[in-house]
Amino acid sequence: MARTLSAPVTVAFDYTRSTGPVLGRFLTGLRDGVVVGARTSSGTVVVPPPEYDPVTHEQTTDFVEVSSVGTVTSWSWVPEPVKGQPLDRPFAFALVTLDGADTPMLHAVDVDSATDMSTGMRVQVRWAADRVGAMTDIEAFVPLREDPPAAASTVGTEEATPITGVITPVSLDYVYAASPEESAFYRGLAEGRIVGQRCPACRKVYVPPRSACPSDGQPTSEEVELSHEGTVTTFCVVNVPFLGQKITPPYVSAYVLLDGADIAFLHLILDIPADEVRMGMRVKAVWKPEDEWGTTIENISHFSPTGDPDADYETYKNHL
């Protein structure tokens, strides 16, 4: 058995980027099948255009259309492409100086093998069929053919508006691991137990246990099995829906201080109208059916009022 529990997590969002005038001009060009660079104060034509001049620091304004044919000035073979790259089979990343430009741009070159690549080789843009005003409007570069490169399809008038924004999907896959102490807690939950740990220095009982007691910097160690009943110290009623939310609002998110623990943890309160939940309310864990249990705190479906009298404020005021 691994020391720790782990599970996959995907962090994904389609970012909505506003481009500003300079990058907007470049991306508008790509949509229209034209590569646009800019002349800097020192006279060099740079692609993509820098937003601000490297010398004067003024915003770039002198745009220049360059060729879609150019020369490879450096390249690197990609034997195992990763998700999101321009091609899903081996290809080259290359720096390509387009005719009319003085500096190279970074993009992919679509060839079958590294032996087809060389510094100095001539390449041309292969445009995407549907262009939206993004770097991926250039699918890749390909070796220059004898016949002149196919012109990009012309732009309809309905597309004449300049690009001011671009959507950039970002999706990263991770494996999240719980700490060894948390893993012990989650494994306990899989057995229907709530296991905290006591800090060897300050003697406080933490649930979940901690790799370092925040007061002393020492790992909690001595296991303490906790009651399934506790006190609501404080709470809020979540009425607001948001992206990625797992529970349908409105719901009560409450700090529950289990009997025997020295720290409250967040959970859900149900079986009572939200406006009747109180600070000091006594609650008990309601577990899901055992066949649905895993190594997660979601084994506890929610907390429910015990019906006992509320705890005295003095008993939990140091936990606010």
Residues 241-280 that bind other proteins (CB under 8 A): 242-247, 251, 253-255, 262-263, 266-268, 274, 279
Q: Which of 116, 173, 222, 259 binds other proteins (CB under 8 A)?
A: 173
Q: How far is the CB of 146 from other proteins (least distance, A)?
A: 26
Judged by DSSP in three states, 280 sits in: coil
Size of the site for other proteins (CB under 8 A): 123
Binding to other proteins (CB under 8 A) within 136-155 occurs at: 136
Helix and strand element counts for the chain (H, E) = 3, 18
Q: How far is the CB of 320 from other proteins (least distance, A)?
A: 4
Q: How far is the CB of 77 from other proteins (least distance, A)?
A: 4
Is 293 a residue that touches other proteins (CB under 8 A)? no
Q: Which of 72, 66, 126 is nearest to 96 (CA)?
A: 72
Is 202 a residue that touches other proteins (CB under 8 A)? yes
Instruction: List CB contacts of 179: < 8 A, sequence separation 6 or more.
Output: 4, 210, 211
Quick check: bond before 48 cis, omega within 30? yes
Provide the token pair at 136.
Answer: 């991926």
Is 48 a residue that touches other proteins (CB under 8 A)? yes
Instruction: List CB contacts of 284: < 8 A, sequence separation 6 or more.
Output: 228, 229, 230, 303, 304, 306
- Contact pattern for other proteins over residues 95 through 114, marking x by CB under 8 A: x-------xxxxxx-----x
Q: How far is the CB of 298 from other proteins (least distance, A)?
A: 6
137 burial level (CB within 10 Å; 0-12, 13-18, 19+): buried
Q: How far is the CB of 147 from other proteins (least distance, A)?
A: 27
Is 132 a residue that touches other proteins (CB under 8 A)? no
| Sequence letter at residue 202 | C
Q: How far is the CB of 70 from other proteins (least distance, A)?
A: 11
Q: Which of 285, 236, 229, 284 is nearest to 261 (CA)?
A: 229
Instruction: Please say whether the beta carbons of 63 and 49 come within 8 A.
Output: yes
Q: Which of 31, 39, 210, 282 binds other proteins (CB under 8 A)?
A: 210
Choose the binding region for other proteins from 142-150, 152-160, 231-239, 281-289 (rule: CB under 8 A): 231-239
Residue nearer to other proteins on the CB measure, 116 or 308: 116
Provide the token pair at 150.
Answer: 């196919």
Q: Which of 43, 57, 89, 289 binds other proteins (CB under 8 A)?
A: 57
